[in-house]
Structure 1
Amino acid sequence: MIEKLISFSLRNRIMVLLIAASLFGWGLYSVQTNKVDAIPDLSENQVIVFTEWMGRSPQLVEDQITYPLVTNLQGLPEVKYVRGTSMFGMSFIYVIFEDETDVYWARTRVLERLNSVGNMLPQDATPTLGPDGTGVGHILWYTLEAPGMDLGEQRAVQDWYVKFALQNVAGVSEVASFGGFQKQYQLTLDPNKLSYYNLSVPQVIQAVRANNNEAGGRKFELSDIGYIIKTTGYLESAQEIENIPIATSNTIPVRVRDVASVQMTGESRLGIFDLNGQGEAVGGIIVMRYGENAEEVIENVKVKMEEVAKGLPEGMKFNIVYDRSGLINESIDSVRNTLIEEMIVASLVVLLFLFHWRSALVIMIQLPLSVAIGFILLNAFGISSNIMSLTGIALSIGVIVDDAIVMVENAYRHLADATKGKPWED
């Protein structure tokens, strides 16, 4: 079989060269279009369901949220198993699908089932799907450097400006904020005053909710001009909250300030983010969408950061603390340098021992062609260029060189014996 293949190739040299050139061109195109990442995605094909029910104990969350969701999500098609985790105020469900299952089809089926089991959960607990990323989707971390700025202000800039801008980048699944304080108004009720005015906690909550709202009126025309009537009721300061009436006692309104103290503070935190031991910091994590090109997404995020930085408060700037593109570039450079070094060494070995430039040329052509064909197969099987795949190519280069040297030397010796020293090169 091998002899026939060699004979056919020798009789049809032009066709073999054309096929090799076509494969090499296809390989170059595959190198340009192949997805590049540093870490291979070995995570399971999963969909995460997150439910927040703050203030409840883990056992209560387990009984009323985690258990009902796990039991109802187990019947989905192509599901391998379902895992559930309960903690203080939060529930996480991990629905693991078969490896061949399309991740977006899986998310759709999970969402359909959640719509049917929503009535089984507590009224103020709403399950939501996690981002369509993977376990290795954290491609870039950044912090906001703003000396002298309050952590609450930094977190507000991150949540209401930076986050929304970076989420528009193609390939970004989520921008997860961390650090700082999430500003909120807190009411501290005095139970003695509530008892004195004969009020309950739900009454206070209802009064605040009813006054933190806008209501629409109607449209009317006056002198051929149309006017739209509405009421502006969003609360904008602690003083406005203090002046909200709750009830009337002897024709005198009882306001929030009569039964509670109102202050601007941060939401309760379960931890802090410290940067290099220099104090707390505020920032975000860029989560890449499933199946995207990590190198391209990181580059697009950096370009967007330069645009977003123009709108940041004076003195604030981005500080990238983790960037996977460095590891990606090092991986690519390693394979490229290995290929060049192997080609040079193999060619020098052949030239030194055989003193035949055509034999060296065979090896120099064979190496890049083999690597190009390897990238064609990577694209065909949907494998990205990462540490594992590129390392495999680098290791295979050594095998290819060894085989090439042995085969070229063997062919050279047989041709030399057959011609008995005659100039067979011609």
Structure 2
Amino acid sequence: MVHRIIEWSLRNRFIVLTLVAGLFVWGIISVKRNPIDAIPDLSENQVIVFTEWMGRAPQLIEDQITYPLVTNLQGMPRIKYVRGTSMFGMSFIYVIFEDDVDVYWARARVLERLSTVSQSLPQGATPQLGPDGTGVGHILWYTLDAPKLDLGEQRAIQDWYVKFALQNVPGVSEIASFGGFQKQYSITLSPNKLLYYKLSVGDVINAVRTNNNESGGRKFELSDIGYIIKTSGYLQSLEQIENIPVQNQAGVAVRVADIATVQMIGETRLGIFDQNGEGERVGGIVVMRYGENAASVIEGIKKKMLEVAKGLPEGVKFDIVYDRGELIQESVDSIKNTLIEEMIVVSLIVIIFLFHWRSALSIVIQIPITIAIAFILLNAFGISSNIMSLTGIALAIGVIVDNGIIMSENAYKHLAERYALWEKEKKYKIK
């Protein structure tokens, strides 16, 4: 069979050269389209279910949230196993699917099951899916360098401006904020004053909730002009909360300020983010979506940062803490240099040992063609260009060259034997 292929190839050189040229061009296109990353994604095919029920102990979270979710999420198709973790105020469920399952199909199945499970959970505990990223999806960390702003203002800029802008970059699954203080209104009740006015905590909560609302009226026409009637009741300052009436006693309104202290505070934190020992910072983590090109996503994030920086307050700028793009570029450059060095060394060795430039050319030309064709297969099997795959290609160059040398030596040997036989026959005819 091999002899027939070789014979057919020698008789149809134009077809073979055209086919090889087409595969080489296809391979070059595949090189440009192949996703680039520093490390291969070996994480499990998982869907994360996150439930927050703040203020509850881990055992209560385990009994009323984690256990019901784990038991109800089991039994789904193409699932391997379900893991659950309970901590103070939070529950994490990891649903592990088989490796060949599409991640968005898996997320849809989990959502279907959660729609029936949520009714059995405590009031205020709503499970939600985690980002559609993987364990190696954290591709870029950044902080805000804002020495003139306090941590609450920095966190507000991150949550209400920077985060929404960066989430629009193609390939980004989530921008996870960290550090600083999340501003919130705090109403500290006085038990003695509640007893004096004969009020309960529920009365205060209902009063604040009722007054922090908007309601619509109707359209009113007057003199051929239409007016839309509505009430604007959203609370916007500490003074508005203090002036909320809780109850009317003897014709006098009891306000929130009469029974409580209203102030702006930060939400309770479980830790801080310090950078280089210079103090706390506020920033975000860019989580890449499943199956995206890490290099292109990082490039898009950096371009978007230049646009977002124009709208930041004076003196505020981005400080990139972790950038996988640099690691990707160094890894790719290292492998490229290795491939070029190997091609040069192999070419010199082949020329020295064979001492025949046509044989050396036929061997050396196999290297770029084979590498280009390898990227066609990488795209076909969904493998990115990373340290592992590119190193494998670099190691395979030796095998490619060995095969070429063996074939060239074998061909040279047979041609030499045929040439010697032809010389003998020529001498015999002359005699």
Partner letter of residue 388 of structure 2? M
How much does 1:250 deviate?
A: 2.1
Q: Supply the AA of the counterpart residue of 1:26.
A: W
Query: 1:300 aligned to 2:300?
Result: yes
State how 1:265-304 maps to structure 2 within 5 Å: 265-304=265-304
1:10 corresponds in structure 2 to 10
Secondary structure in 1 matching 2:47: strand
CA distance in 1 between counterparts of 2:45 and 2:381 reads 17
* Correspondence for 1:150: 150
Q: Which residue of 2 aligns with 1:82?
A: 82
What amino acid is aligned across from residue 139 of structure 1 in structure 2?
Answer: I
Kindly state the Cα deviation for residue 280 of structure 1 after the two structures are TM-superposed: 0.6
Distance 1:402 1:139 in 2: 39
Partner secondary structure for residue 70 of structure 1: helix
Amino acid of the structure 2 residue aligned with 1:378? L
Instruction: Provide the residue aligned with 2:426 in structure 1.
Output: none
Shift of 1:249: 2.1
CA distance in 2, matches of 1:344, 1:353: 14
- 1:233 alignment partner, SS class: coil
Q: 2:223 matched to which residue of 1?
A: 223
Q: 1:309 to 1:422 in 2, by over 3 A?
A: farther
> What SS class does the counterpart of residue 273 from structure 2 fall into?
coil
Query: Who is 1:331 aligned against?
Result: 331
Contact 2:364 2:401 in 1 (8 A): no
Counterpart position of 1:232: 232
Aligned twin of 1:199: 199
Deviation at 1:422, TM superposition (A): 10
Aligned counterparts of 2:335 and 2:399: Cα–Cα separation in 1: 15
Task: State the Cα distance separating 1:420 from its structure 2 match.
Answer: 4.3
Give distance in 1, aligned partners of 2:232 and 2:180. 30
Q: 1:4-403 residue pairs with structure 2 within 5 A?
A: 4-403=4-403
Q: TM-score, normalised by structure 1?
A: 0.96
The 8 Å contact of residues 57 and 88 in structure 1, kept in 2 or not, is answered as yes
> What is the CA–CA distance in structure 2 between the aligned matches of 1:365 and 1:311, rounded to whole Å?
53
Instruction: Say if 1:346 and 1:405, in contact at 8 Å, map to a contact too.
Output: no
Residue 352 of structure 1 and its aligned partner are, at CA, apart by 1.9
Local SS of the residue matching 2:286: strand
Please tell me whether the aligned partners of residues 49 and 127 of structure 1 are also in contact (alpha carbons under 8 angstroms).
Answer: yes
2:428 aligned partner: none
Secondary structure of the structure 1 residue equivalent to 2:9: helix
* 8 A contact 1:339–1:367 mirrored in 2: no
Using the alignment, how far apart are the partners of 2:175 and 2:245 within structure 1?
Answer: 40
Asked if 2 retains the 8 angstrom alpha-carbon contact of 1:335 and 1:393, the reply is no
AA of the residue aligned to 1:28: I
Rounded to whole Å, the distance in 1 between the matches of 2:38 and 2:202 is: 53
SS at match of 1:92: strand
| Percent identity between the two aligned chains | 74
- Give 1:319 deviation, angstroms: 1.0
On the 8 A contact 1:416/1:422 being kept in 2, the answer is: no
Cα offsets for 1:350-391 (capped at 9, x unmatched) = 222232111121122100011011101111111111111111
Q: Tell me if structure 1 keeps the 8 A contact 2:82–2:93.
A: yes
Three-state SS of the structure 1 residue aligned to 2:236 is: coil
Amino acid at match of 1:310: K
| One-letter amino acid matched to 1:69 | L
> In structure 1, how many angstroms separate the alpha carbons of the residues matched to 2:335 and 2:412?
30
Q: Distance in 1 between matches of 2:408 and 2:242?
A: 90
Partner of 1:220, secondary structure, is: strand
Q: Normalised by the size of structure 2, how large is the TM-score?
A: 0.95
1:398 & 1:251 partners in 2: Cα distance?
A: 95
**Alpha-carbon distance between aligned partners in 2 of 1:363 and 1:149, rounded to the nearest angstrom:** 64
Matched length: 423
The residue type paired with residue 125 of structure 2 is A
1:124-158 deviation line (CA, Å, top 9, x unaligned): 11111111111111111111111121111010000
